[in-house]
Copies of this chain bind each other. A is one copy, B any other.
Amino acid sequence: MQIPQVECAMSKLNLFLLLFLLPFSLLAAQSSDGDPTKRQHRLESQTDHHSLLLAQSKPVSNRSVERDYDTFTSTRGGVEIVSSDGEFSATMGGRLLLDAAYYDEDKNSLGNGTEIRSARLDMEGRIFADIIYELSVDFADGDADMKDAWLAYDAYHPWRFILGHFKEPFSLEELTSRKHLTFMERALPNALVPGRNMGLGLQWHGEQVSVAAGLFGDDFNDDSDDEGDEGWGVSTRATYAPIASERSVLHFGASAAYRKLDDEEEYRVDIRPESHLTDVRYLDAGKIKQSRTLTLVGLETAWIYGETSLQAEWLASNLERDDDTDIEFSGWYVQASWFPTGESRHYKHQQARFGRVKPLSELGALELALRYSTLDLTDQDVEGGSSDQITVGVNWYYKPQMRFMMNYSLVKNDRYADADGDLENEDEPKILQLRAQVDF
């Protein structure tokens, strides 16, 4: 009985050593970057960060002036400062997403209303050329929800080593920023996606190929009263884009993830009907006890041909339980979009995800979109329910940083989709949602 435990402890220890030594070994290989006097100068000019401000009440000296002058600032609604040698930089930005939703109810009550969907401040920057960081907090729920909080080693571009709280490399739609999604909310199968966790990752991209992998603990705000060990997992995603030009893209990708659940051995998955204002989660598999490990796979494809685009993903999970009765969930979505005003969706081949749409005309860009998504959380004794949803979307990009969205959805829940018993099943509401979005 004891020996397996020891081995388990040993493997955990190995993980930790790996976690700690990997950056060292990467960095130790670094040779000096050529110009020692420049580097030396940089080191010498490292006055303490705030000392200029706090340590004196006299006017700034000439020397400071000369040094500080070599900085370039810009704004596109936020703050951006770059040192003239490009080795240091900082940006302050954020986003604001304002939502309203009207629910055409069927059997269950759904609360119409308005909300701030996202109100985020981001600070990110570059330190000593090689190190970049991001710290991003969302205040939409009346508290402070930490989003991206990581630092990365960026000396061997396009390789990047990243450490902190960030999204596991899994699923095209998950990795695309909410700012740039075609629809207001991600599709139902996103319930299976791991999202942000604490961990370390390695990324690489070429002209057509990108690869990312990571080792992750739990989310940083995992219940802290529990003294059971956190779970951990690994994720990886690989993409191949045989076509990746400005207005013509063909993209394929596959993701895989494995997770050892934490000592509570409890797995929970649920999701709202692609609308955030309600708190109803028709699909809810409840707490699945005695769960040991979770395996996830995802396949994705996207195709852009001028104003037209298609995108689809299939996701499936396998949950291994102590009694070896595996639970399997799966879902998929397919969506199409068309810009009557002539724009094209923007594919960022380095990260293999979608980016910002820029209107061609004064009047902005118009996008029409259609999505079908489905997710089934029922398997064996777990009756989480299944749901199909069709959404029509109209997006008006008034500026590259500002858009308005309207989504109209038809929801079709099956007889198990009862919010783990809290609601009436086979509910078929319709949802009208509006959003105003700005980022800066």
Contact = CB atoms under 8 A, between A and B. Distances in A.
Contact of A436 (B23, B80, B235, B358): B23
A9 B292 CA distance: 11
A241 B182 CA distance: 48
A115 interface: yes
A139 B149 CA distance: 10
A163 B98 contact: yes
Interface stretch (A213-221, A303-311, A327-335, A380-388): A213-221
A220 B115 contact: yes
A10 to B, nearest CB: 7
Interface stretch (A184-192, A282-290, A369-377, A401-409): A401-409
B84 A75 contact: no
23 contacts: A6-B7, A8-B9, A12-B293, A13-B14, A16-B102, A16-B434, A23-B213, A23-B238, A27-B204, A39-B362, A43-B358, A46-B400, A49-B78, A50-B91, A75-B81, A75-B89, A77-B125, A79-B92, A94-B135, A96-B135, A98-B164, A109-B228, A142-B143
B129 A440 contact: no
Contacts of A12: 102, 112, 258, 260, 293
Interface in A106-145: 108-116, 119, 121, 123-133, 135, 137, 139-145
Chain A binding surface SS class: mixed
Contacts of A81: 73-75, 79
B96 A133 contact: yes
Contact of A43 (B16, B87, B224, B400): B400
A340 B37 CA distance: 23
How many copies of this protein are present in the complex?
Answer: 3
Interface in A52-71: 52-60, 64-65, 67-69, 71
Interface string A135-167: 101011111111001110011011000011100
A323 to B, nearest CB: 13
Given A13-B15, A77-B89, A144-B144, 20 more contacts: A12-B260, A20-B100, A20-B215, A24-B396, A36-B362, A43-B400, A46-B400, A57-B86, A57-B129, A57-B130, A59-B85, A68-B82, A111-B228, A113-B229, A115-B220, A121-B135, A123-B440, A128-B402, A140-B146, A227-B279
A202 B24 contact: yes
A73 B215 CA distance: 39
A71 B67 contact: no
Interface in A1-35: 1-16, 19-20, 23-24, 27-28, 30, 32-33
Given A32-B362, A220-B116, A399-B127, A53 B132 contact: yes
Nearest to A207: B33
B90 A79 contact: yes
A13 to B, nearest CB: 5
A206 interface: yes
A350 interface: yes
A266 to B, nearest CB: 15
Contacts of A109: 227-228
A41 to B, nearest CB: 10
B228 A57 contact: no
Interface string A228-258: 1110001110100000000000000000101
Contacts of A228: 109, 111
Contacts of A225: 279
A230 B53 contact: no
A198 B89 contact: no
Contact of A227 (B76, B278, B293): B278
Contact of A115 (B69, B126, B198): B198
